[in-house]
Every structure is written in C-alpha cells, then in structure tokens.
Amino acid sequence: MSAVDRRASLMGTTDAVRLAGLGRHRLAAVAAIAVVAIALVAAPYVLTPYFFVQILIRSLWLGTVAVSLTFLIRYAGMISLAQTGIYGVAAYVTANLSVTRGVNQWAAAGVGISVAVALAFAVGALAARARAVYFLMLTLAVGVFIYYFALQYRPFTYGFSGINGVAPPSIGSVSLSDPHNFYWFALGTAVVCLLALYGFAHSPLGLALQADRDSPDRARALGMNPTLVRVVGFTVAGVVAAIGGVISVWFNGQVSPGSLDITRTIDILIIVVLGGVARLEGAWLGALLLSIMTVYLSDYTDHYLTVIGLVFMGVVLVSPNGVPGLVATSISGLRRLRAPASTPVSASPTQQENH
C-alpha cells in the first residue's frame, strides 16, 4: 500500500470516528428530549399538588422571564437588569385593565404585552450604544425607576398593596383557573417562546446580532448597523419577558412593587447562572432549581437566602456554564477514569517508509 493510500485510509477512519461520535451525540440529545417530554407529560399525575403548583408551574413562568436574559447574554452579549421591570410593566397593565377597568382579560394581556414591548424598545434604543458595565448600569437604572414608579404612583399601581384579585382567563370552555389547565398553557407558552427565540437566533437578524457580539467593528465594516441590531434583539427579548409577566400575574393573582424589586432581579440572575447560558432551555432548569431551594431550604433555616447565595457563588466559581456544565464535566471525568489505558501511538506512514 502506498503512502497516499495509507493517508487516505487514516483520514477515512478519522472521519468515520467523527461521524460515529456525532451520531451518538444526536442520539443522546434525542433521548434527553424524549425523557424530558415524558417527565413533563407525567408531572401533573405523579407530583404532589403542592410541588406541582408551587414549584413546577412557578418554574415555567419564571423560566420564561429568565430565558429572555439568557437569550441576550448568549446571542447578544448583553447583560440586562431591566427584564424584571419589563415583565412587571406587563403584569401591572394587565392587572389594572382587567381588575379596575373591567377590560376583557385577553385584551388586557395584549395591551400589557404591547406596553411592555414598547418599553423594551425604548430601553434598547437608550442603552444599545453602551456596552459592558455601562449597559448593565443603564438597565439597572431603568429597573429601579420602574420599581419606585410602581411603589409611588398610587392612581395606577395602588402603591405598596398592589393590585389583587387578578383571575386567569378561559380558552373557550377551558378555565385556566384549574391548575392542570394552567400548567398546559404555561408549558405550551414556554415551548413556543423557546422555539421562537431559537428561530430568531438563526435568522439573518439573529446572525447579525451574534456578529455584533463577536466583533462590532467588523460588523460595522460589513455595512451592518450594530445599534439597530441590538435594539431589535433587546425588543425580541422584551416580548418574551412581557409574556412571562402576564403569566406571572395570572398565576399569583396579584402584582405589587415587591414583584419587581431588586430581589426579583437577583432571582433572575441566579436562575440564568444556575441554568447556564450555553443553551436557552437552561433557564427553566435554573428556575426549577431556585424554586426547589427557596421552598425547601426555608423549611430548615431562616438563612436560606444565604445558602442560595453560597450555591450561586459556588456555581460561578466551579462551573461558568451552570449546573448543566458541571454535570457534563463530571460525566466526562468519569468516562476518562473508566477508559482503558492509552496505547502507544503507531508510527506514521512516512516514518514506516523511512524504516
């Protein structure tokens, strides 16, 4: 066999190994999706009512809000602290119109989302030219402003007590007041938001957003308008945050300034860190983990927030990709430990010819 044939044979073997590895990766991904789908379908029938309502359903709308921030970090490189304010505006407008003015609940939700998206567009236009810590501070200022507006403008927000008695609507004869119906609605909405964000990320605008994230100067040199692209990306994330805000007010039955204070902003950040930013669906995993820790740790200690803070710091230091990254690293380490000892590398065809 000639040297060229040997090289071709080696290259073919390498390609086959790569294809086999890719096939195993896809098979594992499909299996994971199937397991998650089965778990989500079975959840209403196997979980206790308390866990089902207070943890699982809560995690769905929290994850919907958090995925808007995960999207901004993952595809735009923007860390926004205004997402809580955006979802709070949607919740307040929906509650005010449906409770105090008697507007149809779906119409009130539509107006609430529209107002929140308009706010997201305005915030994006204001902060899009800033980057890094300056963008962070501008969005924080917006979030704080919205909190104090909700606290002090009593004619619309009713001050500290907020707006109570918000009832979820019905879809035909199906009432969302039933926890099981509300679960399927929140789950379906979460899936739609996830697919929509992935679709946008792979669209021309989404690719332009990623180009601006990686190299704004090159994007500008190619004729792109980085500011416009960032405003569009921020507005898209605002749509998802607003939808999460509407679901949250229907779930809680009320909204108050405490629903959008700095503590809620920190909660969203913790969710994103726990779930990681490598994949958008990590937002719902982070929301589930935070909900579990909040509910169960508070039963054992009054210092549960300190414990959550320590967990947050540990994940940041040990695994920048969140809990999924920590699990993946652990699995890789176990595989290396179980792998057989490496065999000596054989001589290349050229070396064999020289001998």
The boundaries of the domain holding residue 248 are 50-261
- 20 found inside a domain: no
Helix (H, G, I), strand (E, B) or coil at 170: strand
Instruction: Say what the pTM is.
Output: 0.86
Percentage of the chain lying above the pLDDT 90 cut: 61
Averaged pLDDT, 319-326: 83
- Joined tokens for residue 196: 């929509």
- 309 found inside a domain: no
- 346 found inside a domain: no
SS3 for 60-72 is: HHHHHHHHHHHHH
- 338 found inside a domain: no
Q: Which amino acid is it at 6?
A: R
Averaged pLDDT, 88-92: 96
Task: Give the integer Cα–Cα distance in Å for 138 and 253.
Answer: 31
- 322 found inside a domain: no
- 269 found inside a domain: no
Task: Give the integer Cα–Cα distance in Å for 240 and 117.
Answer: 9
- 298 found inside a domain: no
- 297 found inside a domain: no
pLDDT tens string 237-259: 999 999 999 999 999 999 999 99
pLDDT at 21 over 90: no
Instruction: Kindly write down the DSSP assignment for every residue of 175-198, as one continuous string.
Output: ETTSHHHHHHHHHHHHHHHHHHHH
- Joined tokens for residue 345: 């590398």
Domain count, the chain: 1
Tell me what pLDDT residue 280 has.
94
Alpha-carbon Rg for the chain, nearest whole angstrom, is: 24
Q: What integer best gives the mean pLDDT of the chain?
A: 87
Task: Give the integer Cα–Cα distance in Å for 267 and 281.
Answer: 17
pLDDT at 19 over 60: no
Spatial CA neighbour of 335 closest among 21, 91, 104: 21
